[in-house]
């Protein structure tokens, strides 16, 4: 058996391309919802699919792929590169940086988010990962100054329209669930987060001895495409030295069009910005584009320190007791 046989790869590759080409030729003929229960003929994967690319699909949001992107995915799978750092495959990192720069420029992102302004972009799997990474960076930036015990005092803010990935990320990075603020929005602000209610909530928390850490502002909320007013929100959050993340997962790609760019006005005052190319940018799942002003903040200095402290404490424990520790 040769798992990388070139002849077999060519033969199977043509079969897969023919299969996918036929799938797209007929996509509008398939019922959008999975036929798993009704159709016994196709017993395996196909019946279990919900056809997100179908022109008859109107649920959730757009997730538009393209033939160019499918071929790109095939090249990725074919090369099977593990690009976990630059030297492990320089072309992977270089291509990622280059594409993120193109995209950043297409979005007219402010200079500090791009490499020539000391910022930079990176591809994450999805927005949940982008929020986890930036929230971790924000947490560690504060805990480096205040000590790890202050973690219980850190508070994070979004609105009642913010995607649930924010709440999950807060749990993952160790924010006390009682310190998660989903501030109420109303129709009067078109369900955008009000800077006044943000400031009130922050001041209440400070008076209670808590520490405001992170604001997740959204451009294009999942349920009703509400846009949080970035500039005034950033002005409030900056007064308290908070990390500001702009989640434009759903609508961000549209801001490439000059007539929609205004919806991310104010992003220049944020620390990080992300959007999902797998929603409106002809790219298959998973592809979330994240830019930060300070790439160093994403380095895991704190985690390393915690590991060191843990190692030191293990060294002071007798070897016979180390296993349970
Ligand atoms: N934020 C917004 C505004 C979204 O619309 C979504 C997904 O629909 C997410 C976050 C979560 O994105 P992901 O599934 O990439 O983690």
Q: Is the pLDDT of residue 322 over 60?
A: no
Of the ranges 11-20, 34-43, 53-62, the best mean pLDDT one: 11-20
Q: Which residues line ligand 1 (CB under 6 A)?
A: 61, 126-128, 163, 165, 218, 220-222, 247, 249-250, 276, 288
Contact 171, 151 (CB under 8 A): no
Contact 127, 247 (CB under 8 A): yes
pLDDT for res 246: 98
Nearest CA to ligand 1 atom 12: 127
pLDDT in tens, 224-280: 999 999 999 999 999 999 999 999 999 999 999 999 999 999 999 999 999 999 988
The Cα 204–Cα 199 span in angstroms is 9
Residue-wise burial string across 154-168, b where 16 or more C-beta atoms lie within 10 A, e elsewhere: bbbbbbebbbebbbe
Main-chain phi, psi angles of 280, to 5 degrees: -115, 10
pLDDT in tens, 8-24: 899 889 988 998 899 89
Lowest mean pLDDT among 53-57, 101-105, 191-195, 297-301: 297-301
pLDDT in tens, 123-168: 999 999 999 999 999 999 999 999 999 999 999 999 999 999 999 9
For residue 73, the tally of other CB atoms under 10 A from its CB is: 14
Residue 129 alpha carbon, nearest atom of ligand 1: 16
Residue 288 alpha carbon, nearest atom of ligand 1: 15
DSSP for 92-132, please give it.
Answer: HHHHHHHHHHHHHHHTT--GGGSGGGT-EEEEESSHHHHHH
pLDDT in tens, 159-214: 999 999 999 999 999 999 999 999 999 999 999 999 999 999 999 999 999 999 99
* pTM (predicted TM-score): 0.84
pLDDT for res 258: 96
Nearest CA to ligand 1 atom 6: 249
Instruction: Say which residue, 310 or 57, is predicted with more confidence.
Output: 57
């Amino acid at each position: 058996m040769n798992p990388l046989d070139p002849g077999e790869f060519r033969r199977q590759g043509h079969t897969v391309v023919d299969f996918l080409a036929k799938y797209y030729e007929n996509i509008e003929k398939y019922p959008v919802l999975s036929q798993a229960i009704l159709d016994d003929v196709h017993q395996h994967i196909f019946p279990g699919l919900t056809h997100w690319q179908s022109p008859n699909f109107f649920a959730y949001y757009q997730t538009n792929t393209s033939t160019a992107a499918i071929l790109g995915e095939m090249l990725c799978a074919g090369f099977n590169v593990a690009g976990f750092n630059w030297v492990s495959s320089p072309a992977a990192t270089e291509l990622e940086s280059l594409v993120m720069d193109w995209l950043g420029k297409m979005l007219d992102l402010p200079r500090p988010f791009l490499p020539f302004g000391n910022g930079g972009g990176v591809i994450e799997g999805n927005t949940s990962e982008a929020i986890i990474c930036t929230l971790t960076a924000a947490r560690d930036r504060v805990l480096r100054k205040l000590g790890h015990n202050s973690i219980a005092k850190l508070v994070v803010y979004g609105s009642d329209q913010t995607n649930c990935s924010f709440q999950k990320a807060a749990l993952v990075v160790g924010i006390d669930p009682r310190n998660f603020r989903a501030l109420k929005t109303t129709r009067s602000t078109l369900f955008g987060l009000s800077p006044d209610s943000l400031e009130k909530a922050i001041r209440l928390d400070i008076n209670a001895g808590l520490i405001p850490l992170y604001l997740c502002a959204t451009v294009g909320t999942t349920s009703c495409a509400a846009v949080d007013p970035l500039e005034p929100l950033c002005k409030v959050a900056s007064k308290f030295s908070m990390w500001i993340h702009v989640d434009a997962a759903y609508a961000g790609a549209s801001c490439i069009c000059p007539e929609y760019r205004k919806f991310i006005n104010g992003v220049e005052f944020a620390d990080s910005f992300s959007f999902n190319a797998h929603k409106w940018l002809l790219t298959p799942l998973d592809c979330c584009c994240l830019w930060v002003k300070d790439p160093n903040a994403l380095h895991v200095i704190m985690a390393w320190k915690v590991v060191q402290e843990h190692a030191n404490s293990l060294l002071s424990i007798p070897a016979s007791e180390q296993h349970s520790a």
